[in-house]
């Protein structure tokens, strides 16, 4: 299988503070890859660097094309959708307007309407909330809206930043089942960042372990699950 994303020597910094020290990794087309790591390891930073939300250097090849010098809005147009930490919905706007804005870079009206229905079929609760202000949605609904809005881009690659954060376990199960479905049925590749390592390894087929801005372990989810260090530090058994 070919790689949808190849990252080489990626460095990123917040002002004078370096957060990523030249990391390399790749994502398989159609796969789900997860980045594990403790707080402050650089997981969110990695996603933000891919989306061009912070200053970075190195190489980021999306299906062979280097996107390191592109701005965020143009990177999304290349097919990378980012579901940010904290969901980032437009709280004053209705659920449906949020989805409409997700398709901002597209102009195929009929297809957009079809895609909105598709998002509603994944997340039926959003259809009930379609005219409700996004700020009044529950945490789970808001996360579903954030994922739905990202899907409206028709992405080739979906970046997910802690989608389980602050959600009840049942909602998390439901959300991850739908993510799996989106991955399998629509063939959307995913890069998942999670605190909840066992949950992430369930969905992902590949994993990287990030420690203070460096990748220390990589491999298939199975091999990571069996890794003694990972088990002790991140899975707790």
Partner 1 sequence: MELFLQQILTGLANGAIYACLALAVVMIYQAIDHFNFAQGEMAMFSTYICWSMIAVGIPYWVAFLLTIVISFAGGVAIERIIFKPIHNAPVLSHIVVFIGLLAIFNSLAGAIWDHTIKVFPSPFPDGSFNGLIGLHEIGMFFVTLILLGAIFCFFRFTRIGMAMQAAAANPDSAELVGIRVGWMLALGWGLAAAIGAVAGMMIAPIVFLDPNMMLGILLYGFAAAIVGGITSPGGAVAGGFLVGIIENLAGTYIPAIGSELKLTVALVLIVTVLLFKPNGLFGKSIVTRV
Q: Is 201 left (phi over 0), alpha (psi -120 to 50) or beta?
A: alpha
The residue among 140, 208, 207 whose CA lies nearest residue 178 is 140
Of residues 59 through 88, those in contact with partner 1 by CB under 8 A are 71-73, 76-77, 81-82, 84, 88
Of residues 136 through 155, those in contact with partner 1 by CB under 8 A are 136-139, 149-150, 152-153
Answer yes or no whether residue 91 interacts with partner 1 by CB under 8 A.
yes
| 21 vs 77 by CB, closer to partner 1 | 77
**Which of 3, 57, 133, 233: binder of partner 1 (CB under 8 A)?**
133
Secondary structure string (H, E, C) spanning the chain: CCEEEEEEEEEEEECCEEEEEEEEEEEECCCEEEEECCCCCCHHHHHHHHCCCCCEEEEEEECCEECCCCCHHHHHHCCEEEECCCCCCCCCCEHHHHHHHHCCCCCCHHHHHHHHHHHHHHCHHHHHCCCCEHHHCCHHHHHHHHHHHHHCCCCCEEEEECCCCCCCHHHHHHHHHHHHHHHHHHCCEEEEECCCHHHHHHHCCEEEEEECCEEEEEEEHHHHHHCHHHHHHHHCC
Of residues 158 through 177, those in contact with partner 1 by CB under 8 A are none
Number of residues located near partner 1, criterion CB under 8 A = 33
| 90 vs 122 by CB, closer to partner 1 | 90
Minimum Å distance from CB 122 to partner 1? 18
Answer yes or no whether residue 135 interacts with partner 1 by CB under 8 A.
yes
User: How many angstroms separate the CA atoms of 54 and 237, rounded?
Assistant: 36
**Which of 15, 39, 64, 92: binder of partner 1 (CB under 8 A)?**
92
| 10 vs 142 by CB, closer to partner 1 | 142
Minimum Å distance from CB 90 to partner 1? 5
Answer yes or no whether residue 101 interacts with partner 1 by CB under 8 A.
yes
**Which of 105, 173, 198, 222: binder of partner 1 (CB under 8 A)?**
105
Answer yes or no whether residue 53 interacts with partner 1 by CB under 8 A.
yes
**Which of 104, 231, 233, 235: binder of partner 1 (CB under 8 A)?**
104
Q: Which positions lie near partner 1, rule CB under 8 A?
A: 51, 53, 71-73, 76-77, 81-82, 84, 88-93, 97, 100-105, 133, 135-139, 149-150, 152-153
């Amino acid at each position: 299988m070919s790689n949808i994303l190849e990252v080489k020597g990626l460095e990123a910094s917040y002002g004078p503070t370096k957060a990523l020290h030249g990391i390399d990794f790749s994502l398989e087309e159609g796969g789900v890859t997860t980045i594990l790591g403790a707080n402050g390891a650089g997981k969110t930073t990695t996603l933000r660097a891919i989306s061009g939300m912070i200053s970075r250097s190195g190489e980021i090849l999306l299906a062979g094309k280097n996107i390191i010098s592109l701005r965020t809005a143009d990177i999304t147009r290349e097919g990378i959708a980012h579901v940010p930490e904290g969901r980032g919905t437009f709280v004053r706007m209705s659920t449906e307007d949020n989805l409409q804005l997700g398709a901002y870079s597209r102009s195929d009206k009929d297809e957009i309407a079809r895609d909105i229905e598709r998002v509603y079929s994944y997340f039926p609760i959003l259809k009930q909330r379609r005219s409700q202000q996004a700020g009044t949605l529950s945490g789970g609904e808001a996360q579903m809206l954030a994922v739905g809005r990202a899907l409206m881009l028709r992405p080739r690659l979906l970046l997910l930043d802690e989608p389980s954060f602050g959600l009840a376990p049942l909602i998390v199960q439901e959300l991850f089942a739908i993510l799996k479905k989106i991955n399998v049925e629509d063939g959307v590749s995913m890069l998942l960042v999670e605190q909840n390592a066992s949950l992430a390894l369930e969905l992902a087929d590949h994993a990287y372990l990030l420690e203070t801005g460096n990748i220390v372990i990589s491999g298939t989810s199975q091999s990571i699950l069996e890794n003694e260090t990972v088990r002790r530090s991140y899975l707790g058994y």
